[in-house]
Structure 1
């Protein structure tokens, strides 16, 4: 009787090894494509304009912080950072306050027509509303203030939050609320004490996505903001003039816009994943 070689027995089939190698190579290629532009952005922000145009200094150059000094001190970008943070936070919080109860009502009372209206508001291009918005808000003397920016960002954030939370509430068992009402709670009390605490993951997901949209929004702020309410994406345009472009300052400013969002996504990824997968694991 022949004995099998343990080393050969542990070897996986050739097709399995090929598939694993292909999957690893494809994953490495995707990661490289995603990280290469970011690495180029950060590297360019540490170069002078002369070094950026010099192909021989693509990888080997003397780094400088002059671009960041120009962005953060001379151009007063801390004000623009505060403006972006304030508009993004206010629009997200207000959208959550209005959107979560609306999503709960649409989910529990099967308000399909209202959900369709919310979906239509989600897919309407924002640029088609800028002209009427500007006309209305200019007549109300609101253009250039924080209020008009917050309201315009809520137009996209609110439908996004409602749509995410509707699917989240649909996945939650109705028996939990019915049991709470049998114990003496009102429908509103059951929502506040039972449903709302269980939906923290979904609210975190919706709030983070809303904040990221508002932070990165350029179009609304370009038309509706003023010199004192300018946000970071609009402020980046200060480095682009008719005759030339300050590429070093532009890259440093873009890095300042990108890094906070990356940090937020890094520390809140578990909430995003739990909120995104809630519909598949509950119910």
Structure 2
């Protein structure tokens, strides 16, 4: 009887937590299939006739396909650049104990985004970067590296530190160079951490909107900024906003689902030192 009460209490807590975390998401998704009248109705409308007009209007009224492409370009290349710069930096910090550089990267991650936005905006305005689409893409990608690179550095340091130094010393005796140690020994042994860094960098960069809000032009605008267009001064298109928010959430959700095993394995492995 005592065990039964324990399990009942545990499941009740799980249900409460699930409702707290998933309730707003389920409400967003269901509202994306409602008319504005049903969304703003009080008491809330539970049973309603679903409609796809909110999703169809996204592509009829706005060049929504271009906004999706812009988000993938900015997020994809900023994640890739963050990995290219951050992974070797993390290896150097782990092997040569460059704690001051690690601290600087941590401060860059902890600093508010507006601290970097103002200099970027002044540079962009002075060089007229926003008038050139390629330069504007490049500006946004470099700005988003402020998010991705420190994250990669601090996630990968623990993985490289968990690799036994004896393994690398044996490879050096066999004639392996420093770059050979990095590419042939360190990287293959830290693939779970690389997967975690990629997924988290993508999610953080995908959801970030501050840089794009100030630096992007109409042709390079990502999805996160477009969501503001549905809220006006006197009215709001709640159905369109919910549909846009659902689409914005999908890539990160799908990536997390497919990489779930790697994420669990990577986060667990990174906490264990060899």
Aligned to 1:102: 89
Match of 2:112 among 125, 143, 147: 125
Aligned counterpart, 1:7: none
Q: Distance in 2 between matches of 1:187 and 1:225?
A: 40
Counterpart of 1:79?
66
Q: Is the 8 Å Cα contact of residues 177 and 187 (structure 1) preserved in structure 2?
A: no
Instruction: Report whether the alignment pairs 1:154 with 2:141.
Output: no
Q: Distance in 2 between matches of 1:260 and 1:55?
A: 32
Shift of 1:57: 5.8
Q: Please provide the CA RMSD for this pair.
A: 1.5
Aligned to 2:187: 196
Q: Superposition pairs for residues 28-107 of structure 1, below 5 Å? A: 28-55=15-42, 58-107=45-94
> Matched residue of 2:221: which SS?
coil
Q: Distance in 1 between matches of 2:253 and 2:147?
A: 21
- Paired positions, count: 270
Does the 8 Å contact 1:45/1:249 carry over to 2? yes
1:242 corresponds to 2:233: yes
Please name the residue that 1:138 is paired with. Answer: 125
Q: Which residue of 1 aligns with 2:271?
A: 280
Aligned-pair CA distance for 1:279: 2.7
Per-residue CA distance 1:171-210 (angstroms, 9 max, x = gap): 1111111111122211221211111111111111111111
In 1, the alpha carbon distance for the partners of 2:270 and 2:234 equals 53
Range moving further from structure 2, 175-184 or 81-90: 175-184
Distance (whole Å) between structure 1 residues aligned to residue 226 and residue 192 of structure 2: 33
Structure 2 distance, partners of 1:168, 1:229, is: 36
- 1:219-265 CA-to-partner distances (Å, cap 9, x unmatched) read 11101111000000101112122221011111111111012211111
Query: Which sections of structure 2, spanning at least 5 residues, go unmatched?
Result: none
Task: Tell me the TM-score normalized by structure 2.
Answer: 0.94
